[in-house]
Each structure stands twice: as structure tokens, then as C-alpha cells.
């Protein structure tokens, strides 16, 4: 096949694609007044390639072209790169002001710095200078324009100077060019002015040169040098009618032999060559010399309708090839000529001659140095287009080869019975890759219902708008409000068919070709149409075979073996005969039936053959005889079938790199990694794959049907052939698998990409990460938004494209020593072959499933796996089943997913499953460490099946499916290998999800069956936490915990001490746990600990009440314990903290984690009995009582550092005197403060009562009385509140003073005297005693300690009551009747023991009275007289005791010396 290539059109991309961000520039100039000229200049198109487009090392210019098209006074330029994406690559020039374009645009490189775009209008020539891609790459400022994407050179187009910029545009005054030009050529050398050659219909050739540096343009005319022509050329009126035969028709400019030459093709069929430097005609040559004689005899210049001259790109300085198109009334012809400079002589050689097809008009042609491409359209005005290609070499040329074009959508829509009418039409109109263009649908919708809403651009928007407008059209077309179902369906069919026909008409119009362009260096061929551009790609070997077979040409050029070529031709002829004999609908139904999930190609072929032979074919003797005759002439049918099967099976004859081949260098690797990686190249590859798979599918189908027919007709055909087919039924199986593979491949490639939300992508990535699959989904904004993208396109844009270029690099086609890569004719077919090998369903199903899974194509993946189930040669069935299960997990079909996972577990030896099972992600880091084992011990290896189940469990865990996780874990638990490290993971998972579902018994069983002690401990802790949170205390306590009791206690205690008491409470659980097992002592201990922590960690009123409850419960539990063990302990550090205040560190009891880290040592403890708990309860209860009366004191009372003394002070302040006395007694605190406060309250209340009687008192002054117990106090008369308060004080003194040596009455008396209690008259009115103390207190004091009372009065300068008490005290000693009032047991008598009187105090009082005689003159004398009487009595008694009968001093009953006061 060397030197011969077959092409086909593929991969249409659209100018109206919304992904192209068009930059618009308005071209200024002098608008031509010739309306006719504007109508005559129709649409045209062309292209430009870079000089380094084939250089592998040129990553900027490689496979990069600029396409242009002109229509409706707009010139659009689009830069396309097959290797990368370009930003801002679309430029639109509005030529409304400049006039219509002369139909030729010249684009040329100016070194490595600039690219010039040159074109002309009716009155102007323009040169738009753009930066070269190499210059853009070197300029960081330019690169930043693309925002991360390589910018196109069109992004920097600007027309800042407008018409005033001479280096950009030149304007022709009407005196210079009175009539617009009809042809234009341009050339821009790297150094020197840009030259424009303009042809006028009147025969003039004008040359305009645009210098650089803003120099003015240079204009001159090329004319003949003869004297007569010079004279007539100065007379415009005569010039316009003379020399019409020399009128230039087509002009081109080129650099030849160091000069800028203008090649002009004139109406007289002569080619003239002008030198712009010399301004002379260098050569005149008659092209009729190169036309065949038969044509020359009939041809004259008057019969020529069209002459077009086009040069071939890539010429050298002394050689230029070009083509000439001649259109006459009888025929169309293309001549290929070569201009040479030999020994300073110009020579024109004839290279080739091609006749155009009959009834077709040339649209455009593109000559190169070795081939010609041409585009034709039918002369009758039909929409039939034709693309022809020919290769010529020297004097030898081959005939035209027709290039198959992309087929138009079917004119009719077949509605299957299982589809709705609307669904069938929408599927056909919006079919990915094969439906209508977005622009065609857009125009058809506007025709149906007017302009579309703004923003209607996306594929989904167009589909919704189509449904809406067809429904509106149905409503408008209905003749009545009520229609029968068949009438409504017919009306729907009419409207949909009308819309479909509009789409079809617009589609044919916008796909009408305008031009053809070829890059001679790479071989890239581009067909530019009205709204799209497509590419012509070379066929591979089997594609060329199909093309030759369809053209009924000999196969000798494709198959080297002549005998095999003949046999192959005969066999394929038999295939064609059978296909012609069968109906097209029958063959189409074969493919439709293959879409059924359970369909098998072999069975369908057999049924089709049986149905056909029983009908039409059975009665066609001519067909059977012809088929039999051709098969008889096939000498080796086995070789033919083997050749076809190997050619169609893409897995055969894979080229592997040999070890002696040098690997490519880093530069080559980097260059190949970007080769054909752009969106356009991806579209080309995808379209080629779709067309290749479809054409091969049809061939395999026809061969399979033929083989089935041969087997079925064994009684008719020759015996030896029957025996052969019977013995070789494997061929039928081979082609059956080929049919399934190609059908599945074509189906997969043509599926539209299902849009998925971002959340689906995130979930897919999480799933892949758990399986350690590195698939990365693509963002859909990279796909074309104006057409529905296909699944194959998505694959090649992602990991498929990367793998494809890696495989291409392994072919060792790119030598490290050269920078030239193979041409388009070689590289693209090879990449197509490698892509087919990558996507081949039988061998790459796992890879495709991974791809579809990572890109959220779940529905496509399910159908893909279903189709592969019937392909016998499909590999890796269990891996595919596993991925299908993962896909079903993502779609929520969990039961089906579980079944798939179980089916996949049968065989885990496939590489994909081995890679997943072997990863560390299955069992986690802990499991990996367990698998590694310890040094010196036998490593415990994981069971692969167990690891597999762990992976599956993780998949179900990600979708929160605990029931499925339990089912998988139960399957894994059935293995029963307790030595396997993953077994602990399985039981832990079972425990986790049984616990989540509230299945506590099952969770308990899973926990106790876990062989890993550490995991069992973790599960136990979780078990306790969850059941506590769910308030399932009964269930938690009723489990036996065989062998785990200590662990349960430890877990509960640690949990109780580590959690926040404000949110969780595990002490109640511990209390229930201990009480249910009869351990009341520990129950009391945990409740006491709970109360202590509440007081310290949660200082709030509610916690204070809980603390009181805890203490009550602890006391109750401790009371149920044996008295010998009715005690608990607490750390002594708690007491130290209580004494130290807030700055002391917290107890390790409240921080078990820190306690575990510390070095364990014996710590001192404090033993607490029931009495100690009662004391603490009393203190807490006192705080609660205070809070009830004074809520504002919550902060102070809830502090854990409040002492008992402070509580007593607060109780007294709040009026709780009963509780204050109890707390003081409980904590052995003095009662002095309590009595002093009560005394003050009594005084204040007495004052308040007096004020109340005047109407100025508040009731709150005495409400504290109700807080104390006064019910046991009896009153002799009606009392006031003040009397009740004094009575309460009297009661307290009577109860508590004897136990304190009567010191409480002293503090009460002092407090009264300090407060200045009002003096009260006591006794008879005449001899009343004025005292500052209540009489009951004075009487009590006289009875208990009169001397102290006397000292108090003297201290507070109360001389009158002091004198009265002293005199009464003396009288009590002297008189028996008054001794009881002062607590004197014996009076002063000689027979009684000695008595005691405070003589020192009397002396102090006497001295005080003497000093204050001026204030109380009678008191001193009275008291002095009383003392004299007393001393006289003492002397008398003493004398009596000295009597002889007396044996000494009389001793007191106690045996001590009488206590006497001495001054």
C-alpha cells in the first residue's frame, strides 16, 4: 500500500460553537458603490500552515493551522491546534465599511517574529500583522493573556491605526482604480515591502507595495512595453474596450529566483510572468500546449467560463508547482504545471492533467507538490457534494479517488414500537456525533416559532425549547379541542416531521463546502464549509480493503499474495451478493436485535439465514448457482477467513519494542506526550473510531451471515465445502465474537456523556480512593457545549489520550536523532489502531469500566457490562463484575451490587482484583502492620478473600448502607479463620453496624467473638458509650460480660472520668451496673465521685442539686453495706485542693488520660464514713437553701472552693440560723458568729417594729423568722415579731450555751451593749433598775456568771446597773433567800463553806463611782455602805470561825481554798 492512500471525511467542528469567544474588529476603508460586485463575490474559504508544522520539536507551531472563511461581508479566522487548546483563537473582521472581499486571503510567516494576514477589497488592500507563536511563547506578558492556556496569535489582533496607518492599509482613489478588481495575490518577504497584485476586468494589473515603518504605499501598473499599447493605455475609454483577450483572470504572487514575480492567467489562455522589480513580463506561455489534443481541437478562449490559478505551497527558489483550473462549456479540467529556472531560462513543465467529474462544478482545489485536492458541487443545484483526491509524481498520475463524506442524517425517522414519538425524534435529532448541528437546530426552532430566548445555547436548552415549540405547534394545528388518539398521534407526527425537515435543510446548507486546505508537511487535509470544518483522514489497511471492496476494484494493490487476493475478492463478492439478496431492513434488524441484553450474534445470524432461505432465497436459483460458483473458485477459504479474522481482530499482530531498540530521549518523550492532544484531534480520533467500528461491524455482520448461510445450505453446496465448514465452526464463533466486540465498541463510542453533578464526582473520587484507583474525572466545561459530546471523546480527552500517546511512544517510530515526525498519513492511522486496541471490549473492559466509573457514567457502564456478558472472548469477568457492583452502589441499587460482589469473589486471581486486594487501603494501616508481623515470629498472612470482603465493606460504608455491610461481613465471618489479621476488622465492622442499627445482642456477640484484644476493648468502649447515649441501661447491665467484667468496669470508669459532665453522665450507668451486681460500696463510691466532680467541674445551681442527689444516693447505698465495710476513700489531693484554693492543679481523677501517662505510685487517700457524707450533704443542702432565697449568690455558692465557715456566714446573712447552727456543729465551728448575727437581727427587728407602728417599715425585715423553727416556743401573752425573735435567741442560748461554758451569753451581751440596745426600766417604779440588757438575759447571767456580767457593765460604763448587780450579788451572799438568783450555793455563815465575791471588780466599780460622783452622787455612798455591811459581816463570821472549837479554816466542799479577790 506504499504510495497509495484512501481517505474519508471525519470529525466536523463548527464555527458557531459557543466555546469560540469571537473577537470582532471593524475594517475601515472606502465602501464600493457597486452593489453588483458585492453580490458577485460569494463565500470562499482557505487555510494557512506554519513552516514548522511537521517538526516534532516545535511544540508551538506543530499541527497548527489558521482557517479562514468569508461570507456576508465578514472575514472569520480560526486558529486550530491539534496538539493543544488555544485561548481566544477566533477573530471576526467586519468589512461592512471596506466593501466586499476579493476572493483570496494570503497568510504568510515573516521569520520567527510575525505572521501577516493579507487581503484586498474593492478599493483597499490590508495587511494585518500578528505575533508569531514562537514570539508569543518567549513573551511572558503575551502568555498571560491565555490565563493558563496557550493564547492564539489571533488574540493579539488589533487595528489601532485604522485607515491612517499606511503600513496596515492602502486606499485607492477613484482615479487610480475606477473599477473594482476581480483577483488578488499577495506576497510578504521577511525583508522588504509586502506586494499586492490586483487584476482588473479591463486588463490592467496593479501592484501595491506596503513598506514598513509607516512609509507611504507604492503603486504602479504592469503593462506591455510595445509603443502602441503604451499609447492606448493612457486613454481610459479606449483601454476599457481594448486588449480584452489579455484581460487577467487569476493572479498570484511568489518569490522566484530572488525576485517577486506576479503570475497572471489571462483570458487568452496564456500564462504571463511579471517581475515586480523590473516591471517587465518575463514569460508568456500558452497553456493550450498542456491540454490533451482532443480537448485542444474544440477549445477556444471564448468557450472558457472560468480560469483559476493556484500555486502549491512549499516551493523552492528555482522551482514552483501550481495548478490551473479550466472550465469550459463542455468540460472541467485541472492542469498541474511546474515552473523551473534552468541555466537562467524559465521552463514550464507539464506534470499531470485531471478531468473533472461530469455535471459537477468546482468549488475549490488545493494543489501541492505531489497531490491535488478538489471540492465539487452538483451543477443542477442539488446539495450533492464531491471531494476528489489524486496523487501525481512526475509524468505519472493516478486518477481521482473519491473521498467518502460524512453522511447526512437520515431523511426519515423510524419510530420503533417500544418508543414514544417524541423520544424517537429527539434521539435522532440530538444524536451524539451523528445528529444535527446546534446552528441547524437553532435556525429550525426560529422557523417554527420565532426568535429564541436569550441565553438558549446549550444542548439541553435546545432540547427543552424543541419540545415546547412542537407542543405549541400541535395546539395551533389542532382543528378541534377533542381528538382521537390516532388523530393526535398523526398531528404530532406531522409537526415533528416538519421540524425534522427544517433541521435537515439547514444542516445541508451549513455543511455546504466552501474550500479545501492541505498542510503539505503533515498531510493534514481540512474541508472548510459554511459553518463547519472537517478533516480528511487516511484509512488503515482494513479500511482501505473495505473502500476498494465497495468500489469493486482489484485487491492486488492491498494484498501482496496474488492467490490470496483473488480468493479474497471472490469471497467478498459472495458477501456482496448475499447482502444484495437480503433486504436492507433485514440487515438493519440484525443490528437492532443485537441491542437486546440476551441477544447473541451467532443465533441471530442463524435465525436470519433460516428465515431468508425459507422465503426469497430458497426460490432464487440464480443466486444460489452464482454463489456456489464463486465459492468453488475460492482455492483456500480457510486462509481467507484467517486473513480477515486477523485483520479485523485488533489484538492480533501487536508490535512490541525489542530490547535492542534505543529508548527515545526526554525531548522526544515530552514532544510525543502532547502530540494530537487538542480538542480537534480528539474529535478526529473519536469520529474515526466511530466510523471504523461501524464499517467493520457491517463487514463482520455480512461475513457471519454468509458463514451461517453456508452451514445452513450444506445440502446444496459441494460436499467438500460442507465438510470444511462443519469442521471449522470455530470461524463462526470467531466472527460472532468480532460482531459483539465491534457492536459494543460502536455503541460505547457513540453514547452521549451523561451530565453529573459535582457531588457525584466527589463521591466517585472517594470510591476510587478507597480502592486505590487513580481515575480522575474531567470537568465538562472542556467539552463542546454546542453539541452533545460522546463517551469516546471524553475517554480520549482524559486518561485514554495519555495512554494512547504512551503506547505510540513505545512503537519506536520517533528516532532520537531526528526531529521530524511521521506524516499525517502514518501517525493518525497508527494512533487509530492503538486506540482500537485500547478500547477493544474483549481485552480492555476493566479499563473502560474504571473510566466510566470515575466519570459517573453509571448507566452506560451497566449496559456495557451487560453487553460483554455475551462476548465469549471477554477477559477479566470477575474484575468487571466487581466494578459493576461498585457502579450499582453509586446508583443506589445495593442488593444488585451485593450480588455482583459475591459473584466476583469466586475468582480473585485477575490482575485488577489482585492490585486492589494487595493495597494497604483495604484493612488500613493497623492491618498492614499486622500483616507485616513481628521479628522472629511467623507472619500471619491475610486471606485474599477476607481482604476482598473488607474492600467491599468499605464501599458500602461510603453510601451509609449498614444492612449491606452486615451481609458482606457475615459472608466474611463464615470463613472462620481467626488467625487472619483481617478477621478482627470484619468482626469490628459487624459490631459497629449492629450497634448502629440497635441490634445490641448481635453487637455483643460480634464484640466477644473478636479475636483481637485491642479491638475488643475498643468495641467494648463503644458499646458502653452507645447504649448509654441511647438510654439502654437495662440492656447494658444485663449482658454477662464473661471474662470482661474488669474491663467493663475500667471502660465505664475511664469513660465517666474523661467525658464532659455537662453533656454526658456515665456515673448513673456505673451505679446501675454495681447495684445490679450487689456491690453497694462501689455504687456509693461512684455516686460520691460524681457529686464531687459536679461541684468542681460544673459550678452551676443545677449541678448543686445533682450533687445533693448524688450524696443522698451514696449515703443510701453505703447504709446498705455491712458496717465493717461502710466506708469509701477519696484522694487526699482533693482536700489539699480545697485548702489551697483555685490555683491548685486539678485531680488526676478528672483526667484519666494524664493519669495513665504518669508514673503509677501510691497516693494518700482519705477514708470517708457515712457521717462524713452526711456532713457534706448538710453543706450542699445549706447552699441550696441559700440559693432558694438569694439566687444572685449562685456564683459564690457554686464555687468548689467555698468553705464551711463561708457557708455559715451566708446562712446567717440569709437568715437560716437553724441551718447555720447545724453546719457549725457538724464542722465543729464556733457558734459565736451565729449568735452575734441573731442578736443584731433582734435589735434591728425591735427597731423595725417601732418604725412599723409609725408606718415606715418593710415586711422583709422580719420574713427571715419563717426560715427557722419557732413552733416549739410558747408565749404567755400575745407577742410581736420582735418578741418571737428574742424568744428564738433565748431558746438558742438555753440549748447551746451550757455546752459552751456559757460563753454564748457573753457574746450576746457584748453585741447588745455594742449595738446600744435601748435602756429599759426594770422593777418597781420607785426603785426601778435601768439596764441595757433584756431581763431574761440579765437573770440568766446572774445565775451563771454574775461577776462577768458585772465586768461587762463596768466595761461599757453602765455604773448604775453595775452597782445594782453588785449590791444584789452581795445581798445574795449575805441573805439565804436571794442566793438562788445568783447561783450561790452557800451564803456567808460560820458553819458554811467560804464564799467568793469579785472584790477586785468591786474595787474597780467603787473607784469608778467615786470618779463619777458628780453624775450619780448617791450610788457611791450606797455601794460603799453595802460593802461596809458586807465586811462587817465577814469579820463577824471570821471571829466566830476563830473560836477555840474551830480547828482551822473551813474548807469548801470541793476541798480547795476559798477563792478570794485581793486588791
| DSSP label at residue 87 | B
Q: Which of 868, 859, 925 is nearest to 891 (CA)?
A: 859
Counting every residue, how long is the chain? 1463
Instruction: Determine the average pLDDT of the residues in 728-745.
Output: 84
In this prediction, residue 942 carries a pLDDT of 75
| pLDDT (tens digit per residue) in 787-819 | 457 888 888 888 888 888 888 888 777 665 454
Name, in order, each residue with C-beta under 8 angstroms of 1347's C-beta and a sequence gap of 6 or more: 1369, 1398, 1401
Burial 982-991 (b: 16+ CB within 10 A, else e): bbbbbbbbbb
Beta strands in 446-542 (DSSP E): 513-518, 525-529, 532-538
Q: Tell which wins on pLDDT, 1290 or 1414.
A: 1290
CB-CB contact of 572 with 699 (8 Å): no
Cα–Cα distance measured from residue 784 to residue 798, given in angstroms and rounded to the nearest whole number: 15
How distant, in Å, are the alpha carbons of 519, 662, 750, 1375 from that of 585? Answer: 42, 54, 22, 152
**What confidence tier does 938 reach under pLDDT thresholds 50, 70, 90?**
very low
The pLDDT assigned to 527 comes to 93
Q: Which residue in 1386, 1309, 1376 sits closest to 1348, CA to CA?
A: 1309
Pairing state of beta strands 22-26 and 90-94? parallel
Distance of CA 936 to CAs 930, 932, 1446, Å? Answer: 14, 12, 111
> Residue 1067's closest CA among 1122, 1035, 1113?
1113
Q: Which residues contact 1183 (CB under 8 A, 6 or more apart)?
A: 1104, 1197, 1198, 1202, 1207
For residue 999, pLDDT beyond 50: yes
Q: What's residue 884's pLDDT?
A: 92
Q: How confident is the model at residue 1136 (pLDDT cuts 50, 70, 90)?
A: low
Cell of 721: 465445502
Per-residue burial over 27-50, b = 16 or more CB atoms within 10 Å of its CB, e = otherwise: bbbbbbeeeebbeebebbbbbbbb
**Local structure of 572: helix, strand or coil:** helix
Q: Tell me, rounded to whole angstroms, the distance of Cα 821 from its chain centroid.
A: 40
Q: Output the average pLDDT for the chain.
A: 80
The residue whose grid cell reads 451505679 is 1071
Q: Give the pLDDT mean for 656-674.
A: 69
Partnered with residue 185 across adjacent β-strands are: 197
pLDDT at position 1113: 93
Q: What is the pLDDT of residues 959-970, one digit of tens each?
A: 889 999 999 999
Beta pairing partners, 533:
13, 528
Evaluated on CA atoms 840, 843, 844, 845, the torsion sign reads positive
Residue 565: its pLDDT value, please? 85
Quick count: other Cβ atoms within 10 Å of Cβ 756? 17
Residue 1325 is predicted with a pLDDT of 40
The band of 1433, judged by pLDDT with boundaries at 50, 70 and 90, is confident
From residue 352, give the alpha-carbon distance in Å to each of 285, 323, 386, 399, 1043: 17, 9, 20, 10, 101
Residue position matching grid coordinates 518577504: 189
Average pLDDT on 74-101 reads 89
% of the chain with per-residue pLDDT over 90: 16
1141 pLDDT higher than 60: no
Predicted confidence (pLDDT) at residue 900 exceeds the cutoff of 90 = yes
Angle, vertex CA 948, rays to CA 942 and CA 951, nearest 5: 110
Beta bridge partners of 129: 116
23 and 154 in contact (C-beta within 8 Å)?
yes
CB 540 within 8 A of CB 25: no
| CA quadruple 864, 868, 873, 874: dihedral, nearest 10 | 50
User: Is residue 75 within 8 Å of 68, Cβ to Cβ?
Assistant: yes
Q: How far is CA 1390 from CA 908, 1386, 1435, 1437, 1441, in A?
A: 126, 11, 10, 5, 6
The Cα–Cα gap between 481 and 1265 comes to 94
C-alpha to C-alpha distance for 173 and 178, rounded to whole angstroms: 8
Q: Which three cell numbers stand for residue 90?
A: 477566533
* Among 403, 316, 313, residue whose Cα is nearest residue 367: 313
Any idea what the Cα angle at residue 1267 is, between residues 1261 and 1271, rounded to 5°? Answer: 110
More confident residue, 879 or 598: 879
Structure confidence at residue 50 (pLDDT)? 92
* Dist. CA 782–CA 1062, nearest whole Å: 54
Residue-wise over 400-430: b if at least 16 C-beta within 10 A, else e? bbebbbbeebeeebebeeeeebeebbbebbb
How many CB atoms are closer than 10 A to CB 377? 17
What does the pLDDT look like over 1297-1335, one tens digit per residue?
Answer: 777 677 888 888 888 888 876 544 444 444 444 456 888
pLDDT at 776: 45
All three cell numbers of 1289, joined, read 435567741
Amino acid at each position: 500500500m506504499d504510495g497509495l492512500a484512501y481517505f474519508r471525511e471525519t470529525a466536523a467542528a463548527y464555527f458557531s460553537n459557543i466555546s469560540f469567544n469571537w473577537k470582532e474588529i471593524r475594517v475601515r476603508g472606502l465602501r464600493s458603490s457597486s452593489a453588483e460586485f458585492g453580490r458577485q463575490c460569494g463565500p470562499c474559504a482557505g487555510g494557512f500552515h506554519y513552516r514548522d508544522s511537521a517538526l516534532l520539536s516545535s511544540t508551538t507551531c506543530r499541527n497548527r493551522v489558521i482557517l479562514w472563511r468569508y461570507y456576508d461581508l465578514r472575514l472569520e479566522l480560526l486558529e486550530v491546534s491539534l496538539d493543544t487548546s488555544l485561548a481566544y483563537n477566533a477573530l471576526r473582521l467586519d468589512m461592512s465599511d471596506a466593501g466586499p472581499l476579493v476572493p483570496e486571503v494570503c497568510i504568510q510567516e515573516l521569520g520567527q517574529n510575525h505572521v501577516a494576514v493579507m487581503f484586498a477589497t474593492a478599493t483597499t488592500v490590508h495587511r494585518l500583522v500578528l505575533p508569531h507563536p514562537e514570539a508569543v511563547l518567549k513573551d511572558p506578558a503575551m502568555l498571560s493573556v491565555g490565563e493558563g492556556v496557550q493564547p492564539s496569535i489571533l488574540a493579539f489582533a488589533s487595528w489601532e491605526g485604522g485607515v491612517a496607518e499606511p503600513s496596515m492599509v492602502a486606499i485607492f482613489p477613484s482615479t487610480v482604480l475606477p473599477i473594482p478588481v476581480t483577483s488578488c495575490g499577495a506576497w510578504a518577504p521577511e525583508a522588504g515591502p509586502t506586494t499586492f497584485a490586483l487584476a482588473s476586468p479591463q486588463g490592467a494589473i496593479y501592484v501595491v507595495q506596503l513598506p514598513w515603518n509607516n512609509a507611504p504605499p507604492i503603486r504602479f501598473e504592469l503593462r506591455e512595453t510595445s509603443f502602441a499599447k503604451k499609447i492606448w493605455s493612457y486613454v481610459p475609454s479606449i483601454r476599457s474596450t481594448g486588449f480584452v483577450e489579455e484581460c487577467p483572470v487569476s493572479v498570484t504572487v511568489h518569490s522566484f529566483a530572488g525576485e517577486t514575480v506576479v503570475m497572471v492567467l489571462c483570458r487568452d489562455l496564456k500564462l504571463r510572468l511579471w517581475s515586480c522589480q523590473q516591471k517587465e513580463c518575463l514569460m508568456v506561455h500558452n497553456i493550450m500546449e498542456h491540454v490533451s489534443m482532443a480537448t485542444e481541437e474544440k477549445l477556444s478562449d471564448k468557450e472558457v467560463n472560468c480560469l483559476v490559478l493556484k500555486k502549491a505551497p512549499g516551493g523552492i527558489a528555482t522551482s514552483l508547482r501550481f495548478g490551473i483550473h479550466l472550465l469550459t462549456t463542455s468540460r472541467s479540467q485541472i492542469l498541474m504545471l511546474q515552473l523551473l529556472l534552468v541555466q537562467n531560462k524559465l521552463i514550464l513543465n507539464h506534470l499531470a492533467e485531471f478531468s473533472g467529474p461530469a455535471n459537477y462544478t468546482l468549488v475549490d482545489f488545493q494543489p501541492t507538490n505531489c497531490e491535488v485536492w478538489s471540492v465539487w458541487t452538483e451543477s443542477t443545484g442539488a446539495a450533492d457534494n464531491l471531494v476528489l483526491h489524486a496523487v501525481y509524481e512526475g509524468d505519472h498520475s493516478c486518477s481521482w479517488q473519491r473521498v467518502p463524506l460524512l453522511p447526512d442524517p437520515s431523511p426519515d425517522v423510524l419510530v420503533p414500537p417500544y418508543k414514544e414519538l417524541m423520544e424517537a425524534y429527539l434521539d435522532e435529532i440530538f444524536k451524539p456525533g451523528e445528529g444535527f448541528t446546534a446552528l441547524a437546530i437553532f435556525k429550525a426552532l426560529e422557523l417554527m416559532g420565532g426568535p429564541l430566548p436569550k441565553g438558549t445555547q446549550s444542548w439541553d436548552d435546545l432540547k427543552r425549547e424543541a419540545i415546547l415549540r412542537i407542543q405549541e405547534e400541535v395546539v395551533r394545528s389542532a382543528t378541534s379541542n377533542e381528538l382521537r388518539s390516532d388523530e393526535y398521534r398523526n398531528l404530532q407526527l406531522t409537526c415533528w416531521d416538519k421540524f425534522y425537515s427544517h433541521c435537515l435543510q439547514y444542516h445541508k446548507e451549513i455543511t455546504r463546502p466552501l474550500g479545501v486546505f492541505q498542510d503539505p508537511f503533515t498531510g493534514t487535509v481540512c474541508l472548510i464549509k459554511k459553518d463547519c470544518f472537517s478533516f480528511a483522514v487516511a484509512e488503515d489497511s482494513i479500511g482501505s480493503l473495505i473502500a476498494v471492496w465497495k468500489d469493486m476494484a482489484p485487491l492486488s494493490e492491498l494484498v501482496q499474495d496474488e492467490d490470496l487476493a483473488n480468493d479474497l475478492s471472490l469471497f467478498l463478492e459472495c458477501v456482496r451478493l448475499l447482502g444484495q439478496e437480503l433486504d436492507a431492513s433485514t440487515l438493519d434488524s440484525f443490528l437492532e436485535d443485537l441491542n437486546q441484553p440476551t441477544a447473541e450474534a451467532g443465533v441471530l445470524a442463524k435465525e436470519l439465514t433460516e428465515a431468508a432461505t425459507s422465503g426469497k432465497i430458497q426460490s432464487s436459483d440464480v443466486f444460489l448457482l452464482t454463489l456456489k460458483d464463486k465459492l468453488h473458485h475460492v482455492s483456500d477459504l480457510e486462509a481467507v477467513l484467517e486473513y480477515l479474522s486477523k485483520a479485523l481482530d485488533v489484538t492480533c499482530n501487536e508490535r512490541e519494542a525489542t530490547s535492542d531498540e534505543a529508548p527515545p530521549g526526554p525531548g522526544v518523550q515530552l514532544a510525543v506526550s502532547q502530540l494530537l492532544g487538542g480538542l480537534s484531534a480528539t474529535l478526529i480520533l473519536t469520529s474515526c473510531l466511530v466510523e471504523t467500528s461501524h464499517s467493520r461491524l457491517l463487514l463482520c455482520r455480512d461475513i457471519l451471515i454468509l458463514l451461517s448461510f453456508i452451514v445452513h445450505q450444506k445440502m446444496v453446496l459441494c460436499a467438500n465445502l460442507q465438510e470444511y465448514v462443519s469442521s471449522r465452526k470455530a470461524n463462526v464463533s470467531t466472527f460472532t465474537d468480532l460482531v459483539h466486540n465491534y457492536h459494543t465498541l460502536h455503541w460505547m463510542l457513540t453514547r452521549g456523556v451523561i451530565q453529573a453533578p459535582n457531588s457525584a464526582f466527589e463521591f466517585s473520587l472517594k470510591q476510587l480512593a478507597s480502592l486505590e484507583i487513580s481515575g480522575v474525572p474531567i470537568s465538562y466545561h472542556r467539552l463542546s457545549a454546542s453539541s452533545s459530546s460522546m463517551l469516546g471523546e471524553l475517554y480520549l480527552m482524559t486518561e485514554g489520550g495519555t495512554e494512547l500517546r504512551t503506547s505510540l511512544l513505545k512503537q519506536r517510530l520517533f528516532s532520537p536523532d531526528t526531529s521530524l515526525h511521521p506524516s499525517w498519513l502514518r501517525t493518525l492511522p497508527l494512533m487509530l489502531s492503538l486506540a482500537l486496541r485500547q478500547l477493544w471490549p474483549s481485552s480492555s473492559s476493566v479499563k473502560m469500566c474504571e473510566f466510566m466509573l470515575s466519570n459517573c457514567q453509571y448507566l452506560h457502564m451497566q449496559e456495557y457490562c451487560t453487553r460483554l456478558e455475551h462476548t465469549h472472548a471477554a477477559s477479566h469477568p470477575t474484575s468487571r463484575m466487581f466494578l459493576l457492583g461498585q457502579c450499582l452502589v453509586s446508583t443506589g441499587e445495593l442488593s444488585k451490587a451485593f450480588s455482583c460482589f459475591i459473584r466476583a469473589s469466586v475468582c480473585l486471581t485477575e490482575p485488577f482484583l489482585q492490585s486492589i486486594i494487595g493495597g494497604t487501603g483495604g484493612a488500613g494501616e493497623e492491618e498492614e502492620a499486622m500483616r507485616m508481623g513481628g521479628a522472629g515470629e511467623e507472619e500471619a498472612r491475610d486471606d485474599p478473600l477476607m481482604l476482598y470482603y473488607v474492600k467491599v465493606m468499605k464501599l458500602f460504608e461510603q453510601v451509609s448502607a449498614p444492612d449491606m455491610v452486615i451481609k458482606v461481613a457475615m459472608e466474611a465471618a463464615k470463613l472462620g479463620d481467626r488467625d487472619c489479621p483481617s478477621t478482627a476488622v470484619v468482626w469490628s465492622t459487624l459490631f459497629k453496624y449492629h450497634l448502629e442499627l440497635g441490634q445490641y445482642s448481635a453487637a455483643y456477640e460480634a464484640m466477644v467473638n473478636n479475636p483481637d484484644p485491642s479491638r475488643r476493648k475498643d468495641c467494648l468502649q463503644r458499646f458502653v458509650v452507645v447504649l448509654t447515649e441511647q438510654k439502654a441501661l437495662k440492656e447494658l447491665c444485663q449482658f454477662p460480660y464473661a471474662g470482661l467484667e474488669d474491663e467493663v468496669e475500667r471502660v465505664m470508669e475511664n469513660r465517666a472520668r474523661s467525658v464532659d459532665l455537662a453533656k454526658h453522665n456515665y456515673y448513673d450507668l456505673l451505679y446501675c451496673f454495681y447495684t445490679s451486681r450487689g456491690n453497694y460500696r462501689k455504687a456509693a463510691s461512684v455516686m460520691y465521685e460524681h457529686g464531687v466532680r459536679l461541684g468542681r467541674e460544673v459550678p452551676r445551681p443545677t449541678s448543686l442539686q445533682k450533687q445533693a442527689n448524688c450524696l443522698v444516693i451514696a449515703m443510701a447505698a453505703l447504709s446498705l453495706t455491712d458496717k465493717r465495710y461502710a466506708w469509701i476513700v477519696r484522694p487526699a489531693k482533693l482536700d489539699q485542693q480545697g485548702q489551697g484554693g483555685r490555683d491548685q492543679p486539678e485531680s488526676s481523677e478528672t483526667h484519666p488520660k494524664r493519669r495513665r501517662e504518669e508514673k503509677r505510685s501510691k497516693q494518700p487517700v482519705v477514708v470517708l464514713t457515712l457521717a462524713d457524707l452526711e456532713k457534706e450533704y448538710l453543706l450542699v443542702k445549706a447552699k441550696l437553701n441559700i440559693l432558694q432565697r438569694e439566687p444572685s449568690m449562685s456564683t459564690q455558692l457554686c464555687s468548689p472552693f467555698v468553705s464551711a465557715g463561708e457557708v455559715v456566714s451566708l446562712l446567717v446573712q440569709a437568715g437560716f440560723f437553724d441551718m447555720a447552727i447545724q453546719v457549725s456543729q457538724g464542722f465543729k465551728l464556733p457558734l459565736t458568729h451565729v449568735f452575734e448575727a441573731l442578736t443584731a437581727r433582734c435589735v434591728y427587728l425591735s427597731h423595725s417594729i417601732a418604725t412599723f407602728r409609725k408606718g415606715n417599715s418593710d415586711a422583709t425585715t422580719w420574713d427571715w423568722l419563717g426560715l427557722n423553727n419557732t413552733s416549739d416556743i410558747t408565749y404567755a401573752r400575745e407577742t410581736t415579731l420582735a418578741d418571737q425573735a428574742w424568744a428564738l435567741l433565748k431558746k438558742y442560748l438555753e440549748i447551746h450555751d451550757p455546752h459552751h461554758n456559757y460563753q454564748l451569753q457573753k457574746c450576746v451581751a457584748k453585741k447588745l451593749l455594742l449595738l446600744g440596745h435601748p435602756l429599759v426600766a426594770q422593777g418597781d417604779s420607785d426603785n426601778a433598775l435601768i439596764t441595757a440588757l433584756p431581763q431574761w438575759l440579765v437573770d440568766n447571767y446572774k445565775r451563771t456568771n454574775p461577776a462577768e456580767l458585772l465586768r461587762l457593765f463596768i466595761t461599757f460604763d453602765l455604773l448604775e446597773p453595775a452597782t445594782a448587780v453588785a449590791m444584789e450579788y452581795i445581798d445574795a451572799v449575805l441573805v439565804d433567800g436571794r442566793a438562788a438568783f445568783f447561783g450561790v450555793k452557800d451564803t456567808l455563815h460560820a458553819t458554811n463553806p467560804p464564799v467568793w465575791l469579785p472584790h477586785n471588780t468591786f474595787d474597780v466599780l467603787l473607784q469608778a463611782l467615786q470618779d463619777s460622783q458628780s453624775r450619780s452622787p448617791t450610788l457611791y455612798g450606797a455601794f460603799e455602805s453595802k460593802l461596809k455591811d458586807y465586811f462587817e459581816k465577814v469579820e463577824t463570821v471570821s471571829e466566830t470561825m476563830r473560836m477555840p472549837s474551830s480547828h482551822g479554816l473551813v474548807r469548801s466542799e470541793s476541798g480547795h481554798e476559798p477563792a478570794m479577790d485581793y486588791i
